[in-house]
Amino acid sequence: MRRVMVWLRARPLVFDLALVAYFLWPSLPVGVVTRSPWWLQVPVVAGLVGPLLVRRQRPGTAVAVVLATIVLEFLTSPWGTFVPVMNLTLAPVLYSVAVYGSRRQVWLALAGSAVVVSWWAVRSLDAREGQWREFVVAVGFVVLLLLACWLLGEFVSARRAYLLAVEDRAVRAEREKEALARAAVAEERTRIAREMHDVVAHAVSMMVMQAEGARMSLTSGGDQVEQALRDISRGGRDAMGELRRMLHLLRREPTGTTPQPTGADLRALVDGVRAAGLTAELDERGGADDLPAGLVVQVVRIVQEALTNVLKHAAPPASARVVVDWGTAAGRREVRLSVRNTAASVARGPLADLSSGGHGLAGVRERVAMYGGTVSAERTADGGFAVEAVLPVGGGEGTDWA
């Protein structure tokens, strides 16, 4: 039955044709019984059942045609005092005007229906010659049928309006969510640009100092000049790499004076988690002394963001493990990091005041993408959460520019 209803809902014309046949078939013999002229019956029959085919597209027109045809039928009496079942097509068109029509059309249709039913009731009372019981049953049935169809139409109309409102709110909520995500990404890019500004400014300052030292050492010895020039070259390459990355970010002038984090700050981050009552450990492999300062900043910020997430969503006896592999100078060097927490449970609030390094996973992805790396964040089998990232050393620099 459900499949039949779904099939009919997708093909409304089939349902309307069946409705026409339902009202038309019982009324066909009336012409034979009363022997009325066909040219008088055909317009009345067409006016009563024809509007059923356009009741969805033109509900106001459909109900107006049916009401006008009923009035014409009462005036001409093509079947004498007999009133065929076709007159009950007023019920489905009244339903349709409640669902698809305007409020003005609904009130006009109700007023017209009241006039027609009252007229028919008077005619029926005269024809029955005081048969009150049959009169009340017939009139009551017609009135209740029309009221039921009208109320059903009002309910369906209200339901459709509610669903449209819910769908509209869902669409707007999705748009607001996308807008907030774009704003978070833009703000995160600004934050990263500020951090890179400090790194590049430091590298350029060191280049200037080394150049001044090399100039002063020209008369004292070549070894010192060679070492100074080597440091200048290395600092220049690092600065150029950071500047290339900054081309993809929205940038503002730096306003803060907070020193940029270094590899040594990883231990402080883990200690902050321990101070909150959670078990935390740090496994640091290799060193970050020979890595670009901008890359070290991003690694520390990613770990900070992941640990902040642990403090927000985990409670004792949860534990966290941080693994940072700075890589080796041999081959294509990569920095790998992993932050995992286990036995996650819902906490009533942040367990400690560990400031966030950005905007959650959106910020982490921006930081990793800047270096052409990869990141994954997913739940683990034990109910915890894991954030893993790989950042190539020297990745994401793009082509030369000038």
Does residue 25 belong to any structural domain of this protein? yes
Q: Which is more confident, 365 or 185?
A: 365
Q: Is the pLDDT of residue 31 over 70?
A: no
Q: What is the CATH number of the domain that holds 288?
A: 3.30.565.10
Does residue 37 belong to any structural domain of this protein? yes
Q: Is the pLDDT of residue 249 over 60?
A: no
Q: Which range among 15-24, 293-302, 386-395 shows the weakest confidence by mean pLDDT?
A: 15-24
Q: Which range among 61-65, 112-116, 198-202 shows the weakest confidence by mean pLDDT?
A: 198-202
Structure confidence at residue 236 as a pLDDT band (50, 70, 90): low
Q: Is the pLDDT of residue 400 over 50?
A: no
- pLDDT, average across residues 57-64: 90
- pLDDT, average across residues 313-334: 80
Last residue of a domain, one of 84, 102, 130: 130
Q: Is the pLDDT of residue 250 over 50?
A: no
Q: What would the pLDDT profile of 122-140 be if each residue is shown by its tens digit?
A: 777 665 555 667 777 777 8
Last residue of a domain, one of 84, 110, 130: 130
- pLDDT, average across residues 165-181: 84
Residue span of the structural domain in which 113 resides: 2-130
* Highest averaged pLDDT of the listed ranges 173-182, 252-261, 337-346: 173-182
At residue 93, what is the residue type?
V
Does residue 245 belong to any structural domain of this protein? no
Residues of the chain with pLDDT > 70: what percent? 67
Last residue of a domain, one of 130, 151, 185: 130
Does residue 333 belong to any structural domain of this protein? yes
How many residues make up the chain in this entry? 402
Does residue 149 belong to any structural domain of this protein? no
Q: CA 265, 268, 269 angle in degrees (round to 5)? A: 90
* 3-state secondary structure (DSSP) of residue 390: strand
Instruction: Please report, in angstroms and rounded to a whole number, the separation of the first and last CA atoms in the chain.
Output: 72
Evaluate whether 116 touches 71 at the Cβ level (below 8 Å).
Answer: yes
Q: Which is more confident, 315 or 64?
A: 64
Does residue 205 belong to any structural domain of this protein? no
279-295: b (≥16 Cβ within 10 Å) or e: ebebebebebeebbbbb
- pLDDT, average across residues 67-94: 82
Q: Which is more confident, 129 or 193?
A: 193
pLDDT attached to residue 322:
92
- pLDDT, average across residues 304-312: 81
- Tokens 């290799």 correspond to 286
Structure confidence at residue 246 as a pLDDT band (50, 70, 90): low
Residues of the chain with pLDDT > 90: what percent? 7
Domains in the chain, number: 2
Whole-structure pTM value: 0.45
- pLDDT, average across residues 205-217: 65
* 3-state secondary structure (DSSP) of residue 265: helix
Does residue 347 belong to any structural domain of this protein? yes
Average pLDDT of the chain to the nearest whole number = 76
- Residue 217 is classified by DSSP as T
Does residue 64 belong to any structural domain of this protein? yes
Q: Is the pLDDT of residue 353 over 60?
A: no
